Amino acid sequence: MRVDIMSEISEAIEIRRPPAHAPRPSSGHAALPFQPQRAGRALDARTRRAIHAAFTANPCLRNWPAESIDGLCDAGYLKTWLNGELIFARHGPCDDIQVVLSGAIEMSWTNAAGARAVAVYMWPNEVINFIPVIDGGGSMHDQRAHGLTTLFHISRDALFAQFEREPALLRGVLELICVRSRALHRRIGRTALSGFRARLADQLLTLAEWHGQPTPRGIELTIRLSQEDLASLLVASRQSVNKELRRLVRERIIDSQYSRLTILDLDGLRAISDGEE
């Protein structure tokens, strides 16, 4: 689990989130409680450590030399995006990779009727967008900030310069692409062959693996996803999600309070995911 490293990243960025009732600024930067953009060479040591942590916490990238990550830090820039702000449009140019330092990125598709399906949320400690940067084919999704989101952007030129200096870095990137591809195909198989209850259980298990905090009561998810967010991930209606979550609460598999989910019976949730109930 990545909770300790994620807390280090959040601390390093030092963003004061506005209260939930605060109005969203209409334009300009004056009303924002953070510096919206900062060059990599101006980063403080703690933020640099957070970027290093995001690379080295990933099993596929943990062998990247510190000097290579330092080079990327010097070449990139830090930027904070508002909730819902479009970072990259589907099929549009996507010429840099990003390190997610706070908030999240929603990777989604939207059809002509406005229906939205979420492929995945990329949370803090993830390094993303290697495929569009390497192949130059543009973003595969609409990418939007989910909550106030801080990213460290690294250009294609800077990344390729590091590959030229250290060709072995490419192996880690290829491994990461393979890991994510296998996860995607596993999800496609689940969607095709499993019922909704099993797919929801599987999604909750995945969230617990990446964002679970052990507590005396069970495993608490450290992120907050609305029922609408879960519905978009599962390509289902919010009503279906609400009905199934209520059932899981009645069965004492999970607990739900104030949009915070706690898994009370991990084995029971796994049995549902595997279709063994």
Residue 94 token pair: 């996507």
Do 243 and 114 share a structural domain? no
Instruction: Name the pTM for this structure.
Output: 0.77
Domain count of the fold of the chain:
2
Find the helix or strand (DSSP H, E) in which 149 lies.
strand 149-155
Q: Identify whether the C-beta of residue 78 lies closer than 8 Å to the C-beta of residue 100.
A: no
pLDDT at 171: 96
CATH number of the structural domain spanning residue 199: 1.10.10.10
Do 205 and 178 share a structural domain? no
pLDDT for 95 beyond 80: yes
| Residues 6+ positions from 125 with CB-CB distance below 8 Å | 2, 5, 6, 9, 53, 54, 57, 58, 100
CATH number of the structural domain spanning residue 143: 2.60.120.10
Do 82 and 180 share a structural domain? yes
Give me the mean pLDDT over the 93-110 stretch: 95
Give me the mean pLDDT over the 201-228 stretch: 89
| Residues 6+ positions from 55 with CB-CB distance below 8 Å | 61, 62, 64, 69, 99, 127
Q: Which residue has the higher pLDDT, 233 or 277?
A: 233
Do 210 and 232 share a structural domain? yes
Q: Identify whether the C-beta of residue 141 lies closer than 8 Å to the C-beta of residue 107.
A: yes
pLDDT at 250: 97
Do 155 and 87 share a structural domain? yes
Do 30 and 101 share a structural domain? yes
Do 175 and 154 share a structural domain? yes
CA 160, 163, 164, 165: dihedral to nearest 10 degrees? 130
Residue 209 token pair: 């693996």
pLDDT for 4 beyond 50: no
Convert the pLDDT of each residue in 146-161 to its tens digit.
Answer: 999 999 999 999 999 9
Convert the pLDDT of each residue in 70-86 to its tens digit.
Answer: 999 999 999 999 999 99
Do 27 and 88 share a structural domain? yes
Find the helix or strand (DSSP H, E) in which 263 lies.
strand 260-263
Convert the pLDDT of each residue in 174-194 to its tens digit.
Answer: 999 999 999 888 888 877 888
pLDDT tier at 36 (50, 70, 90 boundaries)? Answer: low
Collapsing DSSP states into helix, strand and coil, what is residue 231?
Answer: helix
Report which of 6, 175, 159, 170 is spatially closest to residue 69, judged by C-alpha positions: 159
| Residues 6+ positions from 85 with CB-CB distance below 8 Å | 144, 145
pLDDT at 264: 97
Do 159 and 201 share a structural domain? no
Q: Which residue has the higher pLDDT, 34 or 258?
A: 258
The last residue of a domain, from among 156, 189, 222:
189
pLDDT for 115 beyond 60: yes
pLDDT at 114: 84
The last residue of a domain, from among 144, 163, 189:
189
pLDDT at 193: 86
The last residue of a domain, from among 150, 171, 189:
189
Do 32 and 150 share a structural domain? yes
pLDDT tier at 223 (50, 70, 90 boundaries)? Answer: confident
pLDDT at 16: 30
Mean residue pLDDT of the chain comes to: 85
User: How far apart are the C-alpha atoms of 111 and 232, rounded to whole Å?
Assistant: 13
pLDDT for 33 beyond 70: no
pLDDT at 5: 42
Report which of 271, 119, 233, 129 is spatially closest to residue 184, judged by C-alpha positions: 119
Do 32 and 167 share a structural domain? yes
Domain that holds residue 60: 3-189
Do 31 and 52 share a structural domain? yes
